[in-house]
Amino acid sequence: MALGVVWFISTVFSLVHLTPLHLPKEEYGFKQWMSQHNKVYDTEEYYHRLHIFTENRREIDHHNAGNHSFTMGLNQFSDMTFEEFRKLFLLTEPQNCSATTGGHVNRAGPYPEFVDWRMKDNVVTPVKNQGHCGSCWTFSTTGCLESVNAIATGKLIPLSEQQLIDCAKDFNNHGCMGGLPSQAFEYIKYNKGLMTEEDYPYKGHDDSCHFEPALAAAFVLDVVNITSYDEKAMVDAVARLNPVSFGFQVTADFMHYREGVYRSTQCKNTADKVNHAVLAVGYGVEESGMPYWIVKNSWGTAWGMDGYFLIERGKNMCGLAACSSYPLLLI
């Protein structure tokens, strides 16, 4: 056998039997991440995802080495490009967030420096996970209505996102392609109710409508839109009344958020750029003096701060004050 052939076979054999300690640093880290997140790929996909993972990790390390108000970290999205992430998890249909004036009436302060509705008994449901569906608007809607209902009745009942995906399309919503909480509240109002998550469980894909009126568990009397860009009115609502739904623009750096107060120079602050809906459950001020919102997301508890994030308050960061709303409960 030729010496070159022997060398080739020996080399291949050695590569196949590499222990994790002998793998290149990037690949060893990727294999650890794969194990943590139960990821499996064929050979071609493996090297494609390894390349993306490595680029994302470099971006995270570069960011964390700088002077920023928030840190990034690896998470379940670390093998994805932002374009892939955007198509799977964000609103892909343009959202007509056009409520320039709203029905919320401000009261005179003063307001507490710190508010967190999670600290009150049975007011905020656990963080949920929207999966591979642009249904964040439904989770923002249910999260808000769950809290409003709990504050009024003392009963915290998880409500159905799937009903909104399947049934709210006549109100300018698009299922897994996107929608707006204000339009979802309108649907619940005119539909005369929303079922529980137990009775209408989440599937994470578009389906036909299976609403059963007799099983409706929460009802909306009216929708309150907060005047666009009036962030002080958002503070008033969260301080006095209940958590508030809002939309904002997610850009690539937010995908890797780990903790701290998020702020961005990449995102826009206008209503036409909104691509994600979430729930403000409180607010506070950092020791550095930076004010922030406490926000419930719908990407599971493995992302961010156990599924939550903080975002700078008072500057309409990423358009967060462009499109906020909450429902009035029909009891």
Q: Which residues are catalytic?
A: 136, 276, 297
Are the C-beta atoms of residues 245 and 141 closer than 8 Å to each other?
A: yes
What's the rounded Cα separation, in Å, for the pair 86 and 252? 9
What's the rounded Cα separation, in Å, for the pair 110 and 122? 26
Strands (E), the chain: 70-72, 115-116, 194-195, 216-218, 220-226, 244-248, 257-262, 276-285, 291-296, 308-312, 324-329
What's the rounded Cα separation, in Å, for the pair 246 and 125? 17
Q: Write the CA distances from 270 to 120, 135, 173, integer angstroms.
A: 33, 21, 20
Are the C-beta atoms of residues 206 and 162 closer than 8 Å to each other?
A: no
* DSSP bridge pairs for 295: 280, 309
The residue to which tokens 């049934």 are assigned: 167
